[in-house]
Amino acid sequence: MTQKRFPRQAPSSLVCAGWNLYSLRKNPRFYMSLLLGFLLCWLLTDKTMAISRTYLTNVQIVEPFVWCYADGDSILYAALVMMLMLSAFPRIDTPASYLIFRTTRLNWLIGQVITVFVLTFGYCLMILLSSMAMCIGCNVFTANHWSETATMLSFSPASFEVALTVMRKTVKLTTPWGCCYQIFGLLFQYVLLLSMIQLLFTVLKSRKAGIIAALVLNFAGFVLTPDRFMTWLNLPMEMRYYANLLSAWLSPLQHATYTMHNFGYDLLPRLHVSYLILGGATALMIALSMLRMRTFQFSFTGGYSDE
């Protein structure tokens, strides 16, 4: 009797990714990370939404996201929450060992990379949707032009009240949806790079090394700011532009910061250059992880947990 093959044979890397995602369904850390991401979004956007509520001005639906995540600090916080979600990746535990044994090292690694891609994209999307949800209760619209609130924040002293990054050139040169796509892309690429650095150092050394490497990248972003360059190089205020240049080119976090880009009249990196740098670095991390996988030592210690 010919037995019906129960599973439809999918590429094994997709099965590994599917298993990883399926195993998150009941993982408390996963839900805690999502909740933290949501809370962070609420805390960051609330101060800007307060302007709309105070002055009863209308707001475009993606503006809260644009105002908050055009800023390097917000990206840094969001990336730290994502690190918590990905701290269990790559899966190198006993339940995963049965899966790994049935495929190849490369397929297993590709499965981990797919998982991280999906989770990172999902997390960034959740941040975007959460920030949109913050508009509930305000006079909100979806049309592709800036709101009265955005105009106020960009061209009036009100912006100083909420300590927003300079948005004037953004409002002048782009549209809300266009700006939103770019900020989403930069946020996604930065968090993805961070995750891949974590993956590389985990397979190179250990899980602890992976987390430390990701923290070091975040710390570099935290340290390499224009203000610090001004202090280190003892630059006067009129030379701030050079500190901006150094920071924008050297700091990975500034590459992910929308407002630190060239919109046609300075020497800051252009958006496509930052995409290439972040994307290239991510691809390099994946390629190095693949090379390392050939000799990686799987050290399962046994156990019942699926963590």
Footprint of another protein (CB under 8 A): 3-7, 9-10, 12, 15, 18-19, 22-23, 25-26, 93-95, 97-106, 294-295, 297-306
Residue 83 CA to residue 76 CA, distance in Å, equals 11
Residue entry with tokens 């972040």: 278
Query: Least distance from C-beta 32 to another protein, angstroms?
Result: 16
Cβ–Cβ under 8 Å, residues 167 and 153: yes
DSSP-assigned states of every residue in 152-214: HHHHSTHHHHTTPPP-HHHHHH--HHHHHHHHHHHHHHHHHHHHHHHHHHHHHT-HHHHHHHH
Q: Which is nearer to another protein, 16 or 70 (CB)?
A: 16
Q: Which is nearer to another protein, 18 or 279 (CB)?
A: 18
Cβ–Cβ under 8 Å, residues 260 and 72: yes
Q: Which is nearer to another protein, 5 or 272 (CB)?
A: 5
Q: Which is nearer to another protein, 34 or 140 (CB)?
A: 34
Query: Least distance from C-beta 29 to another protein, angstroms?
Result: 14
Q: Which is nearer to another protein, 18 or 178 (CB)?
A: 18
Query: Least distance from C-beta 266 to another protein, angstroms?
Result: 51
Query: Least distance from C-beta 7 to another protein, angstroms?
Result: 4
Query: Least distance from C-beta 210 to another protein, angstroms?
Result: 19
Query: Least distance from C-beta 72 to another protein, angstroms?
Result: 38
Q: Which is nearer to another protein, 2 or 234 (CB)?
A: 2
- For residue 65, what are the contacts with CB-CB under 8 A and spacing of at least 6? 45, 127, 128, 131, 132, 180, 183, 184
Residue 136 CA to residue 253 CA, distance in Å, equals 30
Beta-bridge partner residues of 59: 140
Query: Least distance from C-beta 287 to another protein, angstroms?
Result: 18
Residue 305 CA to residue 307 CA, distance in Å, equals 5
Q: Which is nearer to another protein, 234 or 299 (CB)?
A: 299
Which whole-number Å values give the CA distances from 29 to 142, 187, 199, 216, 224, in the listed order?
A: 34, 22, 18, 22, 31
Three-state DSSP class for 78? helix
DSSP-assigned states of every residue in 13-25: HHHHHHHHHHHTT
